[in-house]
Amino acid sequence: MFLTSQFKTTLKKNLQPLNLLPQVFLILLIIYIVYFFSKNTEINLDSRNLNFGFDFLSNNAGFDIQFSLINYDGSSSYAKSYLVGLLNTLLVAFFGIIFATILGFIVGISRLSTNWMLNKLSLIYVELFRNLPLILQIFFWYFVVIRSLPSTEKSVIILNFLTINLQGFYIPKFIFSNFVFIFYGFILALAVTFFLRYYATKVFYESAKVIPVFKIFLLLVIIFPIIFALLGDVKITIEYPKLVKNFGIFNYLGGVKLVPEFLALLFSLSLYTSAFIAENVRAGILAISKGQKEASKSLGFNNSQTLKLIVIPQALRVIIPPTTNQYLNLTKNSSLAAAIGYPDLTGVFAGTALSQTGKAIEIIFIVMMTYLTISLIISIILNWYNKKIALVER
Amino acid sequence: MENIKIWLKKNLFSNWYYSLITIFILYVLFSTIPTFLDWAFFKATFIGNTKSDCKSGGACWVFIKVWFDKLIYGFYPEKDLWRVNLTFLILIFSVALAFFVKDKFKMYILFFIIFIFPFIGFILIRGGFGLDQVETRVWGGLALTFMLTFFGIIFAFPLGVLLALGRRSELPVFRYFCIAFIEFWRGIPLITVIFAAAIMFPLFIPANANVDKLLRVAIGISIFESAYIAEVVRGGLQSLPKGQYEAAKSLGMGYWRMNFLIILPQAIKTVIPGITNTFIALFKDTPLIILVGLLELLGMVNLAKSNSYWLGFAVEGYVFVGIIFWVFSYLLSRYTQSLEKKYSTEKH
């Protein structure tokens, strides 16, 4: 009853000529603009003998992509090149977010350190990286830092694990047989932890005993997969990158190769974004009043308990919303890959595929919609999380 | 002496792991800074006009010196450079003047910068009224960076304010249109906007209506940034108590008078830092136009470093660009912080 009456008032208000006219005008204007653009597009496409449609996606792409997570070659379709680009974007965004978060937290906490040197150094770090254009940083890593790495024959090998040279970074490839058992062990550890957490909360409210769930989780996540691996007869073969001489040219074969474009993009995105995250972390920790820490001490919590139970949960509440924005920015900024030729969504699809097919409208539409979808998904997930930890006021 | 000891003990060596960190940092600094200083100053070459003058092994600042005009003005005709200089002098002069005059005159200067200066600048740089025409494709370098930033600011700001008002409008068509508009632009990367403006947009307009590529890209960037401005301004609008709206209405003010005289002045004042941050982001984003072949400062450096005669001076070029961008961004953000402090004291 209430709802309908409210609806009626809104409707009535909107039907008043002074409110109705501008709205009708806006709708007509939008319709006219859409009509104007589509009419022109039709004429322009006709005059260039092009047609509108998404059929081209199943055609042969006919170009190679040097860095791909899935099997791809010139005979694959445009749709598959889109997928390669999308996966490359997600790959660099995923690792970028992880590194930026770790670096951001380290630098953010260092900014509050009482060690003068550490404090000032992290201040310089933040001011340096966030005030330089990202594209300049990408160029610097790509054209200066990576170009100055040693040549293939003089590769730097660190701990027999990481091989560094001009061609990129090489790491050994781990090949598992019966990998699925390790995965089962991991799932079981997660499931046990889930129930343990539920139980621990109950115990905490009933008898104020603290069960160290996180420590147990760390233990389980290591032990269960190992037990399962032993039971399931999992064998690991490590394929090391090998230096091979072919037609007088040295080259590394085998292992996992990380191309310079990927590295330059990953480093610059991580460093740039970490400077912003560091400021969020600093602001978040500063936002907690001294009284909170004192209250926690007076309740008898020790330093690590204060940090874990009082400071971090409250600081996260302040840190998470702006950091979410930084994750979104990082994902969108990964499109700068196009500038150095890393085959991400923009580079492959809005770059190569567009210039080959000339399907400007369709391709830019697809690319924009993809980024929009990624942005929406990330913000929905983090909004949900944010709501979960938001302050519940009486 | 005793004071220094106490200071060191307290700030650098308060416990064993801080001491370790301090020593580690000192080691890193001592092993990198001298090398850098050697490269940038002591072994660097400042004098000369050709590549062969750079033999010392340090930085070759001759590279920057030789390319300086190109880096600043792009391919703008040499005999007309005074026109670009004059334009920026007018701008710098009027901004500087605004710092020294009374608040009442600040309004007039602001009016001049927003409504009159753009036309003067456009005529001076583009030509007309007796001046030679200079096509936009020869515009470039730092001048283009500044022009784009200025254009972006004066278009994105009013548009952003209108969008923010629209998003809080009681009229559903306006509200939902603004929400969709803002969220769309905020959800896509700027590069796709630049690509769309350069490649896709010409298909949307009649074939004979030739809109300049630089203008299309500039409009694209402005609309993109306006969505961010809108969200910042919305934050300011939300922070105002309801009483302000009610008071304005009870004085008999209509929608526009209420917003422009009561609401917006207060709302915008609280979000000045956010707005300047968006402008800094806009400034730092301008180099992206490289991707559609427009050469601002970074683009000119890329061109210079791949010139077959001047190969191998990428570092010098990027350091030069870096210093320019860094100084402007840092000064602006510093200025913002001081504004923030100024306004936060006024509140109490």
Residues 6+ apart with CB under 8 A from B180: none
Say if A228 falls within a structural domain.
Answer: no
Does B160 lie in the same domain as B36?
no
The yes-or-no verdict on residue A158 having pLDDT over 70 is yes
Does A384 lie in the same domain as A299?
yes
Phi, psi dihedral angles at A189 (to 5 degrees): -60, -40
Q: Which residues of B touch A27 (CB under 8 A)?
A: 173
Provide the pLDDT for residue B338: 82
Say if A27 falls within a structural domain.
Answer: yes
Does A139 lie in the same domain as A26?
no
Provide the pLDDT for residue B227: 94
Q: Where are the alpha helices (DSSP H) in chain A?
A: 2-15, 17-47, 78-110, 116-130, 134-139, 179-207, 213-231, 260-286, 290-298, 303-305, 312-333, 345, 354-357, 360-389
Region A84-109 average pLDDT: 93
Search chain A and give the residue with CA nearest B293: A339
Please state, for a pLDDT cut of 70, what percent of chain B lies above it: 98
**Residue A150 is encoded by which pair of tokens?**
């040693």
Does B202 lie in the same domain as B333?
yes
B298 vs A350: CB contact, 8 Å cut-off?
Answer: no
B318 vs A136: CB contact, 8 Å cut-off?
Answer: yes
Say if B103 falls within a structural domain.
Answer: no
Domain span holding position A331: 78-148+259-389
Say if B201 falls within a structural domain.
Answer: yes
Domains held by chain B: number? 2
Cβ burial B33-44 (10 Å sphere, 16+ → b, else e) = eeeeeebeeeeb
Task: Out of A26, A47, A333, name the one closest to residue B207 (CB).
Answer: A47
Residue A381 sits in a domain whose CATH number is 1.10.3720.10
The yes-or-no verdict on residue B12 having pLDDT over 80 is no
Say if B111 falls within a structural domain.
Answer: no
Average pLDDT over chain B reads 86
Q: For residues B266 and A310, what is the distance between their CA atoms, to the nearest angstrom?
A: 36
Judge whether B325 is closer than 8 Å to chain A, CB to CB: yes
Say if A302 falls within a structural domain.
Answer: yes
Provide the pLDDT for residue A4: 67
Say if B88 falls within a structural domain.
Answer: no
Judge whether B287 is closer than 8 Å to chain A, CB to CB: yes
Task: Out of A37, A116, A132, name the one closest to residue B325 (CB).
Answer: A132
Judge whether B14 is closer than 8 Å to chain A, CB to CB: yes
Domain span holding position B260: 51-76+134-347
Provide the pLDDT for residue A107: 93
Provide the pLDDT for residue A390: 67
A338 vs B11: CB contact, 8 Å cut-off?
Answer: no
Interface confidence, given as ipTM, is 0.89
Does B276 lie in the same domain as B226?
yes
Mutation target for B interface from A116, A137, A146: give the one with most B CBs within 10 A.
A116
Q: For residues A107 and A193, what is the distance between their CA atoms, to the nearest angstrom?
A: 31
B199 vs A118: CB contact, 8 Å cut-off?
Answer: no
The yes-or-no verdict on residue B219 having pLDDT over 90 is yes
Residues of B (146-185) whose Cβ lies below 8 Å from A: 170-174, 177, 184
Say if B113 falls within a structural domain.
Answer: no
Does B36 lie in the same domain as B155?
no
Judge whether B263 is closer than 8 Å to chain A, CB to CB: no
Question: What amino acid occupies position B264?
Answer: L
Region A249-258 average pLDDT: 76
Q: What is the DSSP letter of B203?
A: G
The yes-or-no verdict on residue B190 having pLDDT over 60 is yes
Say if B312 falls within a structural domain.
Answer: yes
Does A381 lie in the same domain as A264?
yes
Task: Out of B192, B321, B325, name the one closest to residue A371 (CB).
Answer: B192
Provide the pLDDT for residue A270: 96
Question: A2: pLDDT confidence band, cut at 50, 70 and 90?
Answer: low
What residues does A244 pair with on adjacent strands? A251
B326 vs A128: CB contact, 8 Å cut-off?
Answer: yes
Instruction: Note the pLDDT tens digit of each residue in B271-326.
Output: 888 888 899 999 999 999 998 888 889 988 888 888 878 887 888 889 999 999 99
User: Taking the mean position of all CA atoms in its chain, how far away is CA B160?
Assistant: 16
Q: Which residues of A touch B195 (CB under 8 A)?
A: 346, 350, 354, 364
Q: For residues B16 and B22, what is the distance between their CA atoms, to the nearest angstrom?
A: 10
Phi, psi dihedral angles at B276 (to 5 degrees): -65, -40
Q: For residues B157 and A195, what is the distance between their CA atoms, to the nearest angstrom?
A: 52
Does A92 lie in the same domain as A28?
no
Q: Which comes out higher in pLDDT, residue A122 or B209?
A: A122
- Chain B nearest-CA distance from A214, in A, is 26
Q: Which residues of A touch B325 (CB under 8 A)?
A: 131-133, 136
Say if A247 falls within a structural domain.
Answer: no
Judge whether A114 is closer than 8 Å to chain B, CB to CB: yes
Judge whether B293 is closer than 8 Å to chain A, CB to CB: no
Region A192-199 average pLDDT: 89
A40 vs B204: CB contact, 8 Å cut-off?
Answer: yes
Task: Out of B21, B186, B318, name the one closest to residue A139 (CB).
Answer: B318
Determine contact, residues B162/B223, Cβ cutoff 8 Å. Answer: no
Does B56 lie in the same domain as B37?
no
Does B324 lie in the same domain as B183?
yes
Phi, psi dihedral angles at A70 (to 5 degrees): -115, 165
The yes-or-no verdict on residue B347 having pLDDT over 70 is no
Provide the pLDDT for residue A359: 82
- Chain B nearest-CA distance from A1, in A, is 22
- Chain B nearest-CA distance from A59, in A, is 21
**Burial label, A160 (beta-carbon count in 10 A; 0-12, 13-18, 19+):** exposed
Q: For residues A138 and A133, what is the distance between their CA atoms, to the nearest angstrom?
A: 9
Q: Which residues of B touch A268 (CB under 8 A)?
A: none
Does A377 lie in the same domain as A276?
yes
Does A129 lie in the same domain as A35?
no
Judge whether A377 is closer than 8 Å to chain B, CB to CB: no
**Burial label, B75 (beta-carbon count in 10 A; 0-12, 13-18, 19+):** middle
Does A135 lie in the same domain as A35?
no
Task: Out of B188, B291, B325, name the one closest to residue A368 (CB).
Answer: B188
Question: B348: pLDDT confidence band, cut at 50, 70 and 90?
Answer: very low
Does B265 lie in the same domain as B292?
yes
Mutation target for B interface from A21, A27, A113, A135: give the one with most B CBs within 10 A.
A135
The yes-or-no verdict on residue A178 having pLDDT over 80 is no
- Chain B nearest-CA distance from A360, in A, is 5
Residues of A (190-249) whose Cβ lies below 8 Å from B: none
Residue B180 sits in a domain whose CATH number is 1.10.3720.10
Does A144 lie in the same domain as A8?
no
Domains held by chain A: number? 2
Does B157 lie in the same domain as B27?
no
Task: Out of B11, B189, B314, name the one closest to residue A144 (CB).
Answer: B314
Q: Are strands A236-239 and A173-176 parallel, antiparallel or unpaired?
A: antiparallel
Does B235 lie in the same domain as B217?
yes
Q: For residues A186 and A312, what is the distance between their CA atoms, to the nearest angstrom?
A: 27
Kind and range of the H or E run holding A158: strand A156-158
B200 vs A339: CB contact, 8 Å cut-off?
Answer: no
Does A27 lie in the same domain as A104?
no
Instruction: Note the pLDDT tens digit of each residue in A202-253.
Output: 888 888 787 888 888 888 888 888 888 888 777 777 777 777 777 777 777 7
Search chain B and give the residue with CA nearest A39: B204
Residues of B (191-250) whose Cβ lies below 8 Å from A: 191-192, 195-196, 199-200, 202-207
Does A130 lie in the same domain as A7?
no
Instruction: Note the pLDDT tens digit of each residue in B44-56.
Output: 778 777 777 777 7
Region B177-194 average pLDDT: 92
- Chain A nearest-CA distance from B264, in A, is 21
Does B17 lie in the same domain as B69?
no
**Burial label, B65 (beta-carbon count in 10 A; 0-12, 13-18, 19+):** middle
Does A126 lie in the same domain as A22?
no
Does B320 lie in the same domain as B254?
yes
Please state, for a pLDDT cut of 90, what percent of chain A lies above it: 23
Say if B86 falls within a structural domain.
Answer: no
The yes-or-no verdict on residue B21 having pLDDT over 80 is yes
Does A358 lie in the same domain as A288?
yes
